[in-house]
Amino acid sequence: MSSLNLKRLGPCLFAIAIDAMGFGLVYPMMSVIFGDPHTSLLAPDTSTTLRNFYLGLGYGVYPLCMFFGSSLMGELSDGYGRRKILLLCVFGLSLSYFLMALGVLWPSVGLLLFGRGLSGLMAGCQGIAQAAITDMSTPENKALNMSFMSLAFSVGVIVGPVLGGVASDQRIAPIFGHETPFLLVGALALACGVWMWVSYRNTVTPSEMHRVDVLLPLRVMHEAVRHKAVAYLSVVFFLMQIGYGLYLQTIMMLLQTRFHYGSAQLGLFSGAIGVCFVFGLLCVVRLMLRVWSVIDIAKTGLLVAGIAQVLSSLLPYEAALWALAALVGCFDMVAYTTMYTAFSDAVTEDRQGWALGVAGSVMAVAWVVTGFLTNLLPVLGETGLLLVGGIGFLLSFLMMRAYGRKRRMTLDNAGADSPAPGVTG
């Protein structure tokens, strides 16, 4: 990459990495922040029920705010220009992490949750940064720039949870605490904002700004219900995200309670899952596309991830959980990538953005629901919630299998050039 390209693309790539980093950063820490009576910011005599409630809020408030923030920020970036809204998002992310750090130091649960919600509202920076890079790309370098975006995202996914776990463990350094990772990411986001302020300029003239529709995500979801194929895929994707959301949240608590993992060990475990994400995205999907269709790959990913998660609930032994985590992480990413492709294939060319927006909204809703399912811990326990998530994966596999059969039958009857079921719905 030339120095000119680095100057133009660098701030946007950095923003993508920070956004991905911030998402995974919190998961190895939340179960310790709210669950461990000795290190929690809650009083030691706080009931388990209340701890689970706050833990569910900590998990759920981010995707709830992201549900509205992603589409809102994307719409604003079209009307006011990428630069202004990117700066708003990146500096907003920085503020959100500083507020979370202050919430830990105070201590104040309300301030921590407010910062967490603000980070979700500002999470649209990843999509806007990707759009900005696309704006700057030419047909000759677009593929290369897309690969840099994937690399930036991958780095964030791996580094985030490791940073969150290691930098919050006082056994590694006495100056570390639960606030340290938030301070570090806040500082990185602040540096990214300054870099973007100095180096990045709009390359596309903003369109005329119309009235901002805050309820746009709800309108998009309502419209999706009337489109048969997209509505069906939305249910499949919802079940899949419930499955993985329960896995990521519950496996941390299981490792903490059963094997006494601290935040550093939980961070390393999450980082290992991130490595498997990247392996699934960059290697497994590409190999499978050589011999299988998108739907067959999605089915395989859902099936393998579901079986691995069910086995995690039935075989809660440390070595087994690490080995099965590799399968869950890798094949969840396989299914995730191909599910987005299935959404794209289900609609006509002029509705691509809408369909992918639906997928993003469904994911956000699923993660909100998953956060509040944490309140079932006293009833089901960690292994019970893992089993529920595994069943979610397997149900999504069965539905995707039926979708593939119906699609093949339609193509066989109408000809290979006919649209998939529901494309004109």
* 170, 177, 180, 295, 417 from 173: Cα distances, Å: 5, 9, 11, 48, 62
* 37, 93, 119, 224, 307 from 99: Cα distances, Å: 23, 10, 10, 36, 39
**Among 96-100, 211-215, 268-272, 395-399, whose mean pLDDT is lowest?**
211-215
**pLDDT band for position 363 (cuts 50, 70, 90):** confident
Residue 47 has pLDDT above 60, yes or no: yes
Asked if 273 and 328 count as a contact pair (C-beta separation under 8 A), the reply is: yes
Give the tens place of pLDDT for each residue, 168-186. 888 888 899 999 999 999 9
Give the tens place of pLDDT for each residue, 291-335. 999 999 999 999 999 999 999 999 999 999 999 999 999 999 999
* 59, 329, 388 from 382: Cα distances, Å: 16, 18, 10
pTM reported for the whole predicted model: 0.84
Residue 419 has pLDDT above 70, yes or no: no
The amino acid present at 274, given as its one-letter code, is G
**pLDDT band for position 133 (cuts 50, 70, 90):** confident
Question: What's the pLDDT at 32?
Answer: 81
**pLDDT band for position 353 (cuts 50, 70, 90):** low
Give the tens place of pLDDT for each residue, 135-163. 887 777 776 787 688 788 888 888 989 88
Q: What percent of the chain has a predicted confidence (pLDDT) above 70?
A: 91
Query: Mean pLDDT score of the chain, rounded to an integer?
Result: 86
List the one residue out of 227, 248, 422 whose CA is nearest residue 328: 248
Q: What percent of the chain has a predicted confidence (pLDDT) above 90?
A: 47
**Among 140-154, 209-223, 225-239, 276-290, whose mean pLDDT is lowest?**
209-223
User: Six-digit token pair at 299?
Assistant: 């089915």
Buried b (16+ CB within 10 A) or exposed e, 310-321: bbbbeebeeeeb
Most confident of 129-143, 181-195, 213-227, 331-345: 181-195
Instruction: Outline where 106-227 has alpha helix (H).
Output: 109-121, 125-136, 142-166, 180-199, 216-225
Q: Please state, in angstroms and rounded to a whole number, the distance separating the CA atoms of residues 325 and 270.
A: 9
Question: What's the pLDDT at 297?
Answer: 95
Question: What's the pLDDT at 281?
Answer: 86
Cα 419 to chain center, whole Å? 30
